[in-house]
Structure 1
Amino acid sequence: MTIDSIWSYPPDSGHVEGRDLTGYGVVGTDGTLGHVEREDGHHGMWHLVVDTGVWLFGRSAVVPVGVVTSVDEAERKISVACTVDEVKEAPRFRTDSETMDPDYLTAVADYYRRLIPHGTTTA
């Protein structure tokens, strides 16, 4: 079975399995994106649902955990390897059911994979 690394935290990110990231701030390479609403992993496709608040672009966004560059527990902050505009341009997240839709999540992965190249590993 092939596992796409876009859905896995990078080993050097500081992520600790089982840690609840709800409420952590999310920061892009050029500014604040919002905070983690929740972490989901349907079909093995782990991602963060980020509430961007009305001041940014007034919606939530789905961000694959493979773009996480660091998790700072002391600061309760997650840094990602993309800009605010790149997250804004990602496939639009409209309903919670999309986080369970493999087709939607594949579109999200394809988008972020173009921004941040990731290989695959086998398990």
Structure 2
Amino acid sequence: MTENIWNYPTTAGHTVDADVTGYKVEATDGHIGKVDKHSDDVDSQYIVVDTGVWIFGKEVLLPAGTITSVDAEARTIHVSRTKDEIKSAPEFDKEKHLGNAEYHQEIGTHYGSHRAPGTGSTGPTGPGRI
């Protein structure tokens, strides 16, 4: 079965309603920033990462399906994407994000088709899924 990229993987260790704001975010090849915003809405779970000076203050939206683990004790989230994959993502746009299915599809397509080596693939399965 293909998982929805907009939901946390069951193996990530995320607890519903946990406030992950301020957690450090680690890509497969190093630190990328900290969580600025997040959502636990079913089929619309994500984190917004403030990359700080790493990519000149850019904020990026990462679907929860890119998260491999959440370590509450260390206040760290690990994602299954490289720095370059995240750097090349569309910048987070608060206005486009709110209720815009096309924006979510663009983000989902970016992260679904730009996978870190060895992370597998989740081919297309319908609207909102990749």
What TM-score does the superposition give when structure 2 sets the normalisation length? 0.81
Q: Distance in 2 between matches of 1:14 and 1:51?
A: 22
Name structure 2 gaps, 5 residues minimum.
Answer: 116-120
Asked whether the equivalents of residues 47 and 61 of structure 2 are also in contact (C-alpha less than 8 Å), the reply is: yes
- What code does the residue aligned with 1:59 have? K
Q: Distance in 1 between matches of 2:40 and 2:104?
A: 10
Determine the structure 2 residue equivalent to 1:36: 35
Asked whether the equivalents of residues 47 and 63 of structure 2 are also in contact (C-alpha less than 8 Å), the reply is: yes
Count the aligned residue pairs: 118
Task: Tell me which of the two structures has the higher relative contact order, counting C-alpha pairs closer than 8 angstroms and 6 or more residues apart.
Answer: 1
Identity across aligned pairs (percent)?
38
C-alpha displacement at 1:44, in angstroms?
3.3
User: Structure 1, residues 58-116: CA drift from partner, whole Å, max 9, x if none?
Assistant: 210010000100000000000000001100111222x3122212111110001111134
RMSD value over aligned CA atoms?
2.2
What TM-score does the superposition give when structure 1 sets the normalisation length? 0.85
Asked whether the equivalents of residues 17 and 40 of structure 2 are also in contact (C-alpha less than 8 Å), the reply is: no
Name structure 1 gaps, 5 residues minimum.
Answer: none
